[in-house]
Amino acid sequence: MIRRFLPGLMVLLLSGCSSVSYYSQLASGQWHLLRAREPVAEVIADPARPPLLREHLAQSQKARTFASEHLHLPDNQSYRLYADIGRPYVVWNVFATQEFSLSPQNHCFPIAGCVAYRGYYNQGAARGEAALLRQRGMDVSIGGVEAYSTLGWFNDPIMSSMMSWGDERLATLIFHELAHQRFYVKDDTEFNESYASFVEQEGTRQWRAARGLAPVSDAALKQRDQFIRLILDARKRLEALYAQPLAADAMRRAKAAQFEQLRSEYRHLRDSQWGGDKRYDAWINQPMNNARLLPFGLYDQWVPAFAALFAREGGDWVRFYAAVERLGGLPVEQRKAALRQLEKVGR
């Protein structure tokens, strides 16, 4: 009965203006994921399972308990289950923009609201969608995703796609996705992802402190923040460029020059301040387009504002979440104005 019910349920949850085949793969992919789940405790207790897997899962459960008891995140069966999915990513997200725009092609669903990507459980299907979008002259990027949240509709599992991570990165993912379950605003990806990213970062800081570990090195955090700032600054320059009344050929040349400027600024920063550390070289040297920049604005834009909000609420998680809910309840323009004000306070 559940098997017959699930595809219909998924279409109701995720319906929009796309083809039946797209929703069919959503329903099928989610169904196979649900079928693969098993209690983490049983995997840990099974001597026939790989010792490294059992140890990794055991450590994950300490972080999962910390999330509920100390970060006041939902106390349910999410991430107390495990699923071997047999592939490196659970879904592949397709991001797309117009050639001269940084506005994402949004896809809207009744429960999740509008999001800036379209997810596929099959990499070939994602590539096919990307090819069709490129034929229409759009900038496109595909990103593999090791995990996602169903916002509490299902008990989300730890997946085999996450098992190559270290224990701490797995913990950060649990904090991030449970934050989405705690609160989510329809149609505001920047708000949702920045909020969850802050919970992830502050939660990780507290998780390390609880285990007597030193904070993540200031140098590593500084490098990450500087790299993100480079991307966000490039986005602002491109947005200003696309507002100009240029002919298409001139706009393309200016666009290409902006991406080269981004690479040049990165290399200067890497060599002058990072001692030649090449951790971001692979990303910066790939072919560049608007769509590749989208996740940075989505996941990071309002993190400083949420940090300021957390400080304003005295570092109290319950008060912080209540304040986040009040922000989320504001009309979108008032919400953004409040976030901009918080961002100024945090500088």
Write phi, then psi, for 315 (nearest 5 degrees). 70, 20
User: Would you state the pLDDT for residue 258?
Assistant: 98
Write phi, then psi, for 87 (nearest 5 degrees). -150, 160
Measured in whole angstroms, the distance separating CA 274 from the mean position of its chain's CA atoms is: 26
The overall average pLDDT reported for the chain is 90
d(CA 60, CA 267): 37
pLDDT, tens digit only, all 347 positions of the chain? 333 333 333 333 443 445 678 888 888 999 999 999 999 999 999 999 999 999 999 999 999 999 999 999 999 999 999 999 999 999 999 999 999 999 998 887 766 677 788 999 999 999 999 999 999 999 999 999 888 888 888 999 999 999 888 899 999 999 999 999 999 998 888 899 999 999 999 999 999 999 999 887 778 778 988 998 999 899 999 999 999 999 999 999 999 999 999 999 999 999 999 999 999 999 999 999 999 998 886 677 899 999 999 999 999 999 999 999 999 999 999 999 999 999 988 66
Residue 292's identity, in one-letter code, is R
d(CA 141, CA 193): 19
Residue 114's identity, in one-letter code, is C
10 Å Cβ neighbour count for 65? 12
Measured in whole angstroms, the distance separating CA 174 from the mean position of its chain's CA atoms is: 12
User: Would you state the pLDDT for residue 148?
Assistant: 82
CA atoms in the 13 A half-sphere facing the CB of 14 = 23
User: Would you state the pLDDT for residue 110?
Assistant: 62
3-state secondary structure of 39: strand
User: Would you state the pLDDT for residue 315?
Assistant: 97
At 189-232, the pLDDT tens digits run: 889 999 999 999 999 999 999 999 988 777 877 898 899 899 98
10 Å Cβ neighbour count for 280? 18
196, 177 Cβ separation under 8 angstroms: yes
3-state secondary structure of 144: strand
Q: What is the DSSP string of 69-119?
A: HTS----SSTTSEEE--SSS-SEEEEEEE-TT---B--EEETTTEEES-EE
User: Would you state the pLDDT for residue 269?
Assistant: 96
User: Would you state the pLDDT for residue 225?
Assistant: 86
Write phi, then psi, for 145 (nearest 5 degrees). -120, 125
Nearest-CA neighbor of 160 among 56, 24, 41, 261? 56
Structure letter (DSSP) for residue 128: H
d(CA 116, CA 107): 6
Nearest-CA neighbor of 191 among 345, 347, 335? 335
Compute and round to an integer the Cα radius of gyration of the chain: 21
Residue 62's identity, in one-letter code, is K
Which residues have a Cβ under 8 Å from the Cβ of 327 and sit 6 or more positions away?
Answer: 191, 309, 335, 338, 339
242, 232 Cβ separation under 8 angstroms: no
Adjacency order of strands within the sheet including 81-83: 37-39, 81-83, 158-159
User: Would you state the pLDDT for residue 24?
Assistant: 86
Residue written as token pair 């989610």: 30
Measured in residues, the chain has a length of 347
User: Would you state the pLDDT for residue 346?
Assistant: 66
Longest dimension (CA), the chain: 67
User: Would you state the pLDDT for residue 107?
Assistant: 82
pTM for the model stands at 0.82
d(CA 174, CA 168): 10
10 Å Cβ neighbour count for 287? 7
Residue written as token pair 């989405």: 180
User: Would you state the pLDDT for residue 150?
Assistant: 87
d(CA 246, CA 256): 14
